[in-house]
Amino acid sequence: MPGSLVDRFGIEVPIFAFSHCRDVVVEVTRAGGMGVLGAAWMTTDELEASLKWIDDRVNGKPYGVDVVFPGTFAAIDGTEDLTGLLPDTHVRFVREMLARAGVAPLPDDQIAEFMHETAAKMAMTPQKSERCLEVCLAHPVKFVVGAMGVPPKRVIDAVHAKGIPIGALVGNAKHALKQRDAGIDVIIAQGAEAGGHTGNISSLVLWPQIVDAVAPLPVLAAGGIGRGRQIAAAMATGAAGVWMGSIWLGTTESELTPQMREQLFAASSEDAVISYSMSGKRNRMLRSKYTEAWDRPEAPQPLTFPLQSILSGEPFRRAERSNRLEYWTYSVGQIVGEMKHETTVRQVFSELLNEYLEAAEMAGALIRGS
């Protein structure tokens, strides 16, 4: 990709903001970065409505979409009743956990409806992913990112046919090379500090490894970024920009309720733990009584993806409705320790840029002084 990412995408600063919330996407894009909507687990109708909503508010400024293309897990046929695949032992484990804590159950009819709705969204088949891609390509999307493995060639070709760059998240150099060889345009190097499904290598080790491995492809640095100084550090390793997700969860625009955000504000960086309890895959999330219960010797082994995600739907909904959020969790990175009070996307953006400029000036002064 010739030129900088700022020039390539027509943005003002190379800050890419991943969020499941369309409000965050819009605000970052308006501020001069690129908002990227996390479309995983949306139905095609929900995705269509969200993209139309974004289109109506960004005034033609560029935004992107992150879509899951099944690659590293076995996609389950969406025609199956996935709720029927949940073992009784696992269902009993989570229900007894909540019953002992006095967390109110849901009415039986609501449980059935909610579980089937969750299962339908989690049954990520190749066909469903490509239908979501068709929806995306019918809108003025400027960047498509594939999550969970190398996108199929037909997906990459379809995106390129629209003149749109495609990116992919990786956690090590081996995976970065596979993505490069498949035709990916932008590599997102996600360090272990990141929230969500992440690898084992810390950001400051990973970023330069990926930059060197895939040069001259541009690399976005991800994992543990929530300050301007961290952006400066990422750029110093050779990154062409940054990919940020967790920091937006503390904003008023995020998808979380005020009570959920308070759980994040009370957390330290050590409370962003690796657990398989949410999705069945390695995932960094907020420590809670729910995650701790799965670490006990008597706990069953977490199910494979997406069954563990479907299993977690009911307990999280119960915890939310009962305001017992100590039994709730959410994917968040170690930057959570920096999130202490509610803010806005605009405030975060302004603080990032101001601190980045200060750090760049300081580094320049040190170099000149030498």
- Tokens representing 245 are 């997700």
**Look-up of token digits 């307990």:** 315
State how many domains the chain has.
Answer: 2
Would you say the pTM of this structure is higher than 0.85? Answer: yes
Same domain, 87 and 175: no
Q: Is residue 262 part of a domain?
A: yes
Instruction: Tell me if 21 sits within 8 A of 248, measured CB to CB.
Output: yes
pLDDT recorded at residue 118: 76
Same domain, 239 and 195: yes
pLDDT tens for 120-177 read 776 666 777 888 999 999 999 999 999 878 999 999 999 999 999 999 999 999 999 9
Q: Is residue 158 part of a domain?
A: yes
Same domain, 200 and 272: no
Same domain, 50 and 102: no
Same domain, 37 and 70: yes
CATH number at residue 218: 3.20.20.70
The rounded radius of gyration (Å) of the Cα atoms in the chain is 20
**Look-up of token digits 């800050």:** 15
Domain that holds residue 190: 5-75+125-250
Domain boundary among 194, 220, 250: 250
pLDDT recorded at residue 70: 67
Q: Is residue 353 part of a domain?
A: no
Same domain, 275 and 172: no
Q: How far apart (Å, rounded) are the C-alpha atoms in residues 309 and 271?
A: 21
Q: Is residue 348 part of a domain?
A: no
Instruction: Tell me if 125 sits within 8 A of 76, measured CB to CB.
Output: yes
Same domain, 134 and 245: yes
Mean pLDDT confidence for 65-69? 90
Same domain, 44 and 182: yes
Helix (H) or strand (E) holding 49: helix 44-55
Q: Is residue 359 part of a domain?
A: no
pLDDT tens for 22-46 read 999 999 999 999 999 999 878 899 9
CB atoms within 10 A of CB 101: 15
Q: How far apart (Å, rounded) are the C-alpha atoms in residues 22 and 146?
A: 18
φ, ψ for residue 129, nearest 5 deg: -60, -40
Q: Is residue 332 part of a domain?
A: no
Domain boundary among 221, 250, 279: 250
pLDDT at residue 74 greater than cutoff 50: no
Q: Is residue 273 part of a domain?
A: yes
pLDDT recorded at residue 2: 34
Cis ω for the linkage preceding 87 (within 30 of 0): no
Q: How far apart (Å, rounded) are the C-alpha atoms in residues 213 and 174?
A: 9
Q: pLDDT band for 100, please (50, 70, 90 cuts).
A: very high
Q: Is residue 358 part of a domain?
A: no
Same domain, 180 and 34: yes
Q: pLDDT band for 305, please (50, 70, 90 cuts).
A: confident
**Look-up of token digits 């543990």:** 224
Domain boundary among 231, 250, 269: 250
Same domain, 19 and 108: no
Same domain, 265 and 191: no
Q: Which pairing describes strands 64-68 and 34-38: parallel, antiparallel, or unpaired?
A: parallel
Same domain, 89 and 49: no
- Tokens representing 322 are 């009962």
